[in-house]
Structure 1
């Protein structure tokens, strides 16, 4: 059953990766340039915002590449190996890096804000990404346990 999901998932990963390349090279820089041109007070934020947005897209792309590699391991029935744990570690690292930048921005916005709307949205996103990252840590622990059990079983057989 899982093999039937691998091919469509890989197709969607390629499509998503391509869309993200367009976003990081054209849409985000262009959109941020347009917004800062419309609001001259925000002009000093153009390049920091562009760098942060592109950084987040790169974090997502890292997760997509690692997911691709893990799907290959699933297809070859090699997911319960130490190599799979390394790919999961890279995913966790990318999520953690993105979360750190998001949390820093949320703190900065909270200190600057006079309206609770944006801080609340950033708080929601920060908590959501934290939950996702911690869920990945738990799933990694489960993968590690399954890997150990499989190794033990193979040693018995």
Structure 2
């Protein structure tokens, strides 16, 4: 039990650091990077704002996953993880991953049809498969959480 509390505390520290770094990326790094790329390569400058919006959206999806994970950790700490409330936070994670995947698939299709080098489309394909696996894994984990929640509520009603 003590190890679990230490792991939750450590995970929370890392989630705060990750969230802070992501905010810096969202606000400063990504817009600045795409502005710099537009100045360096004027032929591709038309992609500055779409690339900025898509990148900021992906960071936002990760931030939603972080917030939902934080809330789930709170439920773990209070020993309330096997309740209906936890399923809503897992749904938030699934929806964030799904939204990120849909946009990633769109970017993959756009780049795939316009690329003259197979490197970037292959990387985007690999990322698409990885995010799809993560999303499907979360759906399976949600089903397991639902079963555990049902079993716990059944046990509590018996006791």
Q: TM-score, normalised by structure 1?
A: 0.99
Deviation readout 1:5-58 (Å, 9 max, x if unpaired): 000100110011000000000000001110111000111111111000000000
Moved over 2 A (4+): none
Cα displacement (A) at 1:133 = 0.3
Alignment partner for residue 152 of structure 1, among 142, 148, 154? 154
Unaligned runs of 5+ in 1: none
Unaligned runs of 5+ in 2: none
Alignment partner for residue 58 of structure 2, among 46, 56, 59? 56
Residue in 2 that maps onto 1:140: 142
Alignment partner for residue 2 of structure 1, among 1, 4, 10? 4
Cα displacement (A) at 1:114 = 1.4
Cα displacement (A) at 1:123 = 0.4
Q: Does 1:14 find its partner at 2:24?
A: no
Residue in 1 that maps onto 2:99: 97
Q: TM-score, normalised by structure 2?
A: 0.97
Deviation readout 1:44-79 (Å, 9 max, x if unpaired): 111111000000000000000000000000000000
Residue in 1 that maps onto 2:88: 86
